């Protein structure tokens, strides 16, 4: 099956991965060019050209930021599937199977590190070559913009790269990635609010009314950070619930009895074991059916010792069993496998029947 690719046009390939530019990137290019061009108070062909140059250099910096993520991923032997430029920046997709805190953290921090390298190179050229005029202005802007990009991206909250670094630190300390995601996502919400407060409070403290640009920046940043952080919170909470699932915590104790036992014999076995569920074993001692102890109350007492279990047994598909020690990584796939085929799985400890697991109880625990 081929990998599903992000929509957009392919501008080339880097490290074997397609560089995809979404149409919205061109919209952002035009908007930035106009903002830069009109910053001087007048919009002319010359200022538009300069604005376009500055906008292109910013998007180029974003591309190099994403390439740095790709380089780091490749350094850890990961296949990079695509590098994408979007309306609000970009993202890099790579093989995340068997991901570790180290790989996650280093890959994340590589992007902001690249922005600092770009800023340093631009400043070095300015100082060594003594570049002036338009070229000097562009280099100064590139240095300034990349420092801002680095600072913004290292903010310690999801979806920023700094959030992934924080996630990796907590993951490494606790051994649970989902706990790291949850903490980094909550910090992401805090960062979203803090950026809005800073954007609007700064001009007020300076004795002026927040301008259109101040409001636009606040709204834009909040619209990026808050939804992404909220989505990560919901996802990590669901995954933490899943991580806590075990067969032992959800099962209902049961006892296994041979198919040759009578209703009375099964009642005695259940009462001796102190359970309310009975699993019927076939001729090969494999689980073949089950029934609740209460169901046998419908059989008249005077015939229970002569009544076979066939009259009260609900069949169970062959193989519908799961080990008592199984956790979520085994339980979830088994749920998918048996859903719609049976209502319960027989719980075993080795080969000994110890309970039943209602699939509906698993679904309820997940939700």
pLDDT recorded at residue 1: 37
Residues 198 and 180 in one domain: yes
Q: Domain for residue 136, yes or no?
A: yes
Q: Which domain holds residue 350?
A: 247-366
d(CA 189, CA 167): 14
Other residues' Cβ atoms within 10 Å of the Cβ of residue 331: 22
**DSSP 8-state assignment for residue 106:** H
Q: Domain total for the chain?
A: 2
Q: Is residue 121 part of a domain?
A: yes
Residues 24 and 126 in one domain: yes
Burial label, 39 (beta-carbon count in 10 A; 0-12, 13-18, 19+):
middle
Judgement on whether residues 233 and 119 belong to the same structural domain of the protein: yes
Whether residues 103 and 165 fall in one domain = yes
Provide the CATH number for the domain around residue 306: 3.10.580.10
Residue 290 and residue 238 share a domain? no
- Asked if 135 and 148 sit in the same domain, the reply is yes
Residue 40 covered by a domain = yes
Same domain for 147 and 272, yes or no, is: no
Tell me whether residue 318 is in a domain: yes
Choose one of 243, 264, 296: the last residue of a domain.
Answer: 243
From 196, 226, 243, give the residue that closes a domain.
243
pLDDT in tens, the chain (367 residues): 345 677 889 999 999 999 999 998 888 888 888 887 777 667 777 788 888 889 899 999 999 999 999 999 999 999 999 999 988 788 999 988 888 999 999 999 999 999 999 999 999 999 888 777 888 888 999 999 999 999 999 999 999 999 999 999 999 999 999 999 999 999 999 999 998 999 889 889 888 888 877 788 788 889 888 999 999 999 898 888 888 789 999 999 999 999 999 999 999 999 999 999 999 999 889 999 999 999 999 999 999 999 999 889 999 998 999 999 998 888 888 888 898 889 999 999 999 999 999 999 998 888 7
User: Which letter does DSSP use for residue 367 in this model?
Assistant: -
Residues in the chain: 367
Q: Show the tokens assigned to 9.
A: 């046009």
From the DSSP assignment, how many helices (H) and strands (E) are in the chain? Answer: 11, 11
Verify that 125 and 189 share a domain, yes or no: yes
The reply to whether 120 and 150 lie within a common domain is yes
Structure tokens at 266: 């099964």
Which tokens belong to 256? 């296994």
The pLDDT, as a whole number, for residue 245 is 85
Tokens for 62, please give them. 């974003």
> Same structural domain for residues 212 and 331?
no
**Which of 193, 224, 243 is a domain's end point?**
243
Q: Is the residue at 143 inside a domain? A: yes
**3 within some domain:** no
| Residues 333 and 272 placed together within one structural domain of the fold | yes
Q: Which helix (H) or strand (E) holds 247?
A: helix 247-250
170 and 287 both lie in a single domain: no
The SS3 assignment for 29 reads helix
43 contacts: CB under 8 Å, gap ≥ 6: 34, 37
- pLDDT tens-digit series, residues 48-67: 888 888 989 999 999 999 99
- State the CB neighbour count (10 A cutoff) for residue 134: 12
Residue 253 parent element (H or E): strand 252-258
For 227-271, how does the pLDDT look when each residue is reduced to its tens digit (9 = 90+)?
A: 999 999 998 988 888 887 899 999 999 999 999 999 999 999 999
45 within a domain of the structure (yes/no): yes
Flag whether 1 is in a domain: no
């Amino acid at each position: 099956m081929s990998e599903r690719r992000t929509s957009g046009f392919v501008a080339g390939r880097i490290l074997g991965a397609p560089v995809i530019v979404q149409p919205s990137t061109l919209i952002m290019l035009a908007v930035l060019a106009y903002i830069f061009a009109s910053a001087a108070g007048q919009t002319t062909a010359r200022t538009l050209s300069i604005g376009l140059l500055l906008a292109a250099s910013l998007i180029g910096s974003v591309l190099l930021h994403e390439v740095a993520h790709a380089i780091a991923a490749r350094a850890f032997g990961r296949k990079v599937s695509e590098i994408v430029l979007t309306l609000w920046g970009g993202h890099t997709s790579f093989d995340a199977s068997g991901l570790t805190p180290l790989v996650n953290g280093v890959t994340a921090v590589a992007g902001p590190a690249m922005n600092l390298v770009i800023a340093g190179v631009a400043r070095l050229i300015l100082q060594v070559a003594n570049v002036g005029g338009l070229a000097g202005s562009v280099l100064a802007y590139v240095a300034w913009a990349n420092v801002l990009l680095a600072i913004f991206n290292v903010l310690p909250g999801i979806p920023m790269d700094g959030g992934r670094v924080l996630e990796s630190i907590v993951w490494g300390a606790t051994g649970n990635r989902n706990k790291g995601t949850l903490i980094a996502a909550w910090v992401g919400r805090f960062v979203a609010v803090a950026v809005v407060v800073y954007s609007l409070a700064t001009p007020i403290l300076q004795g002026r009314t927040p301008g259109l640009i101040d409001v636009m920046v606040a709204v834009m940043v909040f619209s990026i950070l808050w939804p992404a952080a909220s989505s990560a919170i919901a996802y990590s909470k669901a995954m933490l619930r899943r991580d806590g699932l075990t067969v032992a915590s959800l099962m209902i104790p049961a006892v296994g009895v041979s198919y040759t036992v009578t209703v009375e014999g099964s009642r005695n076995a259940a009462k001796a074991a102190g359970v309310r569920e009975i699993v019927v074993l076939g001729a090969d001692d494999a689980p073949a059916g089950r029934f609740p102890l209460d169901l046998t109350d419908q059989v008249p007492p005077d015939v229970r010792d002569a009544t076979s279990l066939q009259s009260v047994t609900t069949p169970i598909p062959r193989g519908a069993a799961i080990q008592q020690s199984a956790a979520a990584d085994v339980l979830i796939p088994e749920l998918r496998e048996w859903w719609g085929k049976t209502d319960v799985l027989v719980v075993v400890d080795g080969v000994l029947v110890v309970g039943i697991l209602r699939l509906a109880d698993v679904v309820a625990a997940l939700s």
